Each structure stands twice: as C-alpha cells, then as structure tokens.
C-alpha cells in the first residue's frame, strides 16, 4: 500500500518512514558491531567493508546537514561526479573500525530525523509540510523525498555489508514501499540518454502487493506518473525486493526473471528486460 503523509509536526514524514530509517540504521549497526576485520572485500564492489561503512557514515552526516538546511555541495548529480565526491570524502576520513562507524551511522540517522522535526516545529514549513526543495546530490528534493533517499541509500549499502559479513540483509517489501517516492521522482534524472534515445514506450510497473506507477518514454524524454499508464505497451509485475535490488544495480534482472520474480505482459512484453537498462543506479 502507498504510504500516506501526515500533515502535522508530530510526524512530518510519510507514515512509517522515520521508524524505517531508525530501524535500518540499527540493523546496519548490528551487522557491523563485533566485526574484527573491516578489510574484507564487499562483493561486487571495489570497497572494503570498512570503506563502505565509512561511506555510509559520511552519507548519513551529509543527509542530516541537508535536512538542517546547511549547504553541502557534493558532485553535480552525474555518476562520475558522485563517484569522485565519494572518493574525496573517504580520503579525508580515515575511520575504518566497525564499532565507531556503527555509532556514527545511527547517530547521524537520528540527527537527520531531528533536523526534519525541528524544521517542522520551527515554522519554517507552513501549511504544506516540508515542501521546500533542498539542493541535494541528485537535484532539488523536499525533506520527505530526501528521507526516502536516505532510506534507499542505507538499504543499498546495507545489503552490500550484509553480503560481506554473510548475514541476512534488511530489505523487505514495506521498506521498499517507503523508498518508492524517491525512486520514482529520480528516474527521469538517472535515465540513460543512449538507452532511451529513439525509444517510444509506455510502461506500467507494479510491485507485487504494493504500489504501481507509470513510465512513458518518447525520444529520450522520460515521464513518471504516480498512477499506472492507460493502455501500456508493457506491464511489469515484480517482487518489491527484487525491484529495489535491480534498480540499485545489485541484482541481475535475467536471474530475477528466471526465478519468477518478474512477470510481464501487454502488446510489447519483450520491452520488460530492457527496462532496467534505461536507467543508471542512483
């Protein structure tokens, strides 16, 4: 079910989002605590576990500063600039021990939520709560969208850390649902120009047991709508966890299809395997 937004200062984020941020940060900290060697490799990444955890700590701090209204330039939104910014921040931050990084990850997640609550309570957000866009690494986002971004980012790297320590990950359908406002808002910005060039198509994407949205492409332009498209060329039904992992570049779509996690139909069902390649992971 699509999360609903509460219009008061007691809970200025979509219902359940603040709790999911706290719990995800706690789950990541639990993975890290007691790990004796943070030099182990993260599968599918050039980072060690310590570097990935340090990146998460720094990213949570960045998000908390943004939520508090502080300016924090961090690349220009392109994958190349974000990668360069990541490397620069890691080079300037030498903490790689598991326990201190676990503490920073949870502390900065709390700091983010405190900043959002203060912004609402201080009256900087009026009748339409938290609707002022903030400058973020992926363009202007309101605080609720930034919170959805924070959760998405923690889940992606939390999945990596879980694989590194051979423990279960913390992604579930409810948390994926809370990531969807950010994911759908950012899709036009992360569209791959080469992949979308010359393509005209209308998709409906349905998360099994959850939300559905529409994506239209016309000669490189990408439009995402919060409701399914009328007469789509291709409808994709996908397991929520598989959707997030594929969208974040952690899961092979063909493997998901083979496992029955993706089903497609419509006038042009062959467009389904092409869909993930139309976007770069945010």
Domain ranges of the chain: 17-186, 193-278
Residue with tokens 């709790």: 19
The structural architecture, per CATH, of the domain 17-186 is Up-down Bundle (1.20)
Contact yes or no for 166/178 (Cβ under 8 A): no
Global pTM reads 0.92
Burial class (CB within 10 angstroms; exposed 0-12, middle 13-18, buried 19+) of 37 = exposed
Cα–Cα distance between 65 and 121 in angstroms, integer?
17
Residue ranges of E strands in 52-92: none
Alpha carbons within 13 angstroms on the beta-carbon side of residue 280 total 12
To which CATH superfamily is domain 193-278 assigned?
SCP2 sterol-binding domain (3.30.1050.10)
pLDDT of residue 6: 38
If DSSP codes are grouped into helix, strand and coil, which group holds residue 191? strand
The total of other beta-carbon atoms located within 10 Å of residue 238's CB is: 24
Cα–Cα distance between 13 and 234 in angstroms, integer?
33
10-residue mean pLDDT series, the chain (282 residues): 40 91 98 95 96 98 95 85 93 97 98 92 52 88 96 98 97 98 94 93 96 93 92 97 96 93 96 94 81
Extract the tokens encoding 263.
């089903």
């Amino acid at each position: 079910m699509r999360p609903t937004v509460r219009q008061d200062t007691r809970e200025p984020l979509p219902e359940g989002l603040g709790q999911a941020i706290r719990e995800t940060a706690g789950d990541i900290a639990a993975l890290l605590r007691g790990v004796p060697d943070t030099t182990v490799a993260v599968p599918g990444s050039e980072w060690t576990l310590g570097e990935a955890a340090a990146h998460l700590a720094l990213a949570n701090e960045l998000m908390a500063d943004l939520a508090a209204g502080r300016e924090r330039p961090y690349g220009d939104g392109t994958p190349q600039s974000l990668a360069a910014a990541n490397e620069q921040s890691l080079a300037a931050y030498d903490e790689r021990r598991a326990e201190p990084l676990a503490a920073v990850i949870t502390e900065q997640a709390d700091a983010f939520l405190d900043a959002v609550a203060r912004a609402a309570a201080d009256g900087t957000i009026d009748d339409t709560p938290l609707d002022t866009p903030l400058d973020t690494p992926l363009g202007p986002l309101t605080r609720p969208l930034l919170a959805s971004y924070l959760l998405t980012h923690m889940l992606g790297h939390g999945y990596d850390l879980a694989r590194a320590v051979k423990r279960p990950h913390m992604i579930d359908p409810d948390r994926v649902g809370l990531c969807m406002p950010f994911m759908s808002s950012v899709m036009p910005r992360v569209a791959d120009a080469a992949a979308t060039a010359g393509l005209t198509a209308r998709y409906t994407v349905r998360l099994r047991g959850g939300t559905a949205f529409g994506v239209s492409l016309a000669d490189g332009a990408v439009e995402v709508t919060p409701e399914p498209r009328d007469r789509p060329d291709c409808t994709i039904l996908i397991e929520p966890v598989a959707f997030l992992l594929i969208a974040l570049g952690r899961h092979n779509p063909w493997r998901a299809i083979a496992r029955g996690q993706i089903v497609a139909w419509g006038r042009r069902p062959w467009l389904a395997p092409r869909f993930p390649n139309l976007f770069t992971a945010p």
